[in-house]
Structure 1
Amino acid sequence: MAAKFLLIFFALFGFAFSEVIPFIDRGDYSVCEINKLRITPCKNQTHCTLKKGSTVRISFDFTPKFSSDSIMTGLLWYNEGFKNSYSELPNADGCLYTPCPLEADKKQTLNYDLQIANRLPDGEYNFKWKIWTHTDEECYFETTIELER
């Protein structure tokens, strides 16, 4: 019982220190819709600054307009002079981060703990997060974050 209480406490604690972050839904609304993006510990809704060398929780709600037994997921970081796939998540099994199978028109949440490398230069980055199926249904969003030491 105590473990269940602690789990609920830490889940609520995490939401208290996360912010809903603005994003651009680039997907085809007939295929999938991104509903909400949260980044923990981003405390400023209009300007998300993250520390290099830290781990942040990326959590987003999405509503697929298709059903699928499996999905893939990936992340691309870019700014002027830098464009790279996130090496730990180039074409990952999305079912490790959200329940599968997906059901059409049922909202889901994908959660990922993103480790931000110290080797990345300080500055502002766009990142593009994508989920897709083997039959080419896809949706993705883009948002901007700033990295600093």
Structure 2
Amino acid sequence: CVVHEVRIDPCPEALENQPCKIRLGANYSMSFDYTPTFSATRVSSQAAKVSTLVDIPFEEMDINGCKYTTCPIEANKKQVFNYALEVGTQFPAATHQVKWKLWNADDHHQQCCFKCSLQLIN
């Protein structure tokens, strides 16, 4: 899978190639353009905080990826994923590495993923 571009709005820090400053408890929009190497009728999606031992998923997320991208997804066809990001208050204010993953709900080995840094602020 190729992730072409990731957009978080608002994020003026992106112009300076810096982590987005995300206010805890606020709402943002996140979207990305991707070209999967696989086809799938059902897709799942989840964001997680990258940790040294185990990634910590954002539990409040709805993992039904078809709500945020066109399903079925087709191999080698560029698509867009759009998500309304509601930032909970369970994470401490700090800079976090976040992994976002989109996968075939029937074969978890078929997936698209990317990592980005987010600076959570009060």
| TM-score, with structure 1 as normaliser | 0.72
Q: 89, 96, 100: which one pairs with 1:125?
A: 96
Q: What's the CA shift for 1:82? A: 9.1
**Which segments of structure 1 move beyond 2 Å, counting only runs of 4 or more?**
78-83
Q: Unaligned 5+ residue runs, structure 2?
A: none
Distance in 2 (CA, whole Å) between partners of 1:83 and 1:138 is 16
Encode CA deviations 1:41-65: one digit per residue, 9 max, x unaligned: 1111112111111011110010012
Question: How do 1:1-80 residues align onto structure 2 when only pairs under 5 Å count?
Answer: 32-45=1-14, 46-47=17-18, 48-78=20-50
42 and 122 in structure 1: CA distance in 2 versus 1, 3 angstrom threshold: same
Question: Of Structure 1 and Structure 2, which has the larger fraction of its residues in strand?
Answer: 2
Provide the aligned length of Structure 1 versus Structure 2. Answer: 117
* Greater relative contact order (CA < 8 Å, ≥ 6 in sequence): 2
Distance in 2 (CA, whole Å) between partners of 1:67 and 1:117 is 32
Q: Which amino acid aligns with 1:143?
A: C
Q: Which amino acid aligns with 2:118?
A: I
Q: Which amino acid aligns with 2:50?
A: Y
Distance in 2 (CA, whole Å) between partners of 1:82 and 1:65 is 26
Asked if residue 140 in structure 1 is aligned to residue 88 in structure 2, the reply is no
| TM-score, with structure 2 as normaliser | 0.87
Identity of aligned residues (%): 32
Aligned to 1:95: 66
Distance in 1 (CA, whole Å) between partners of 2:11 and 2:84 is 13
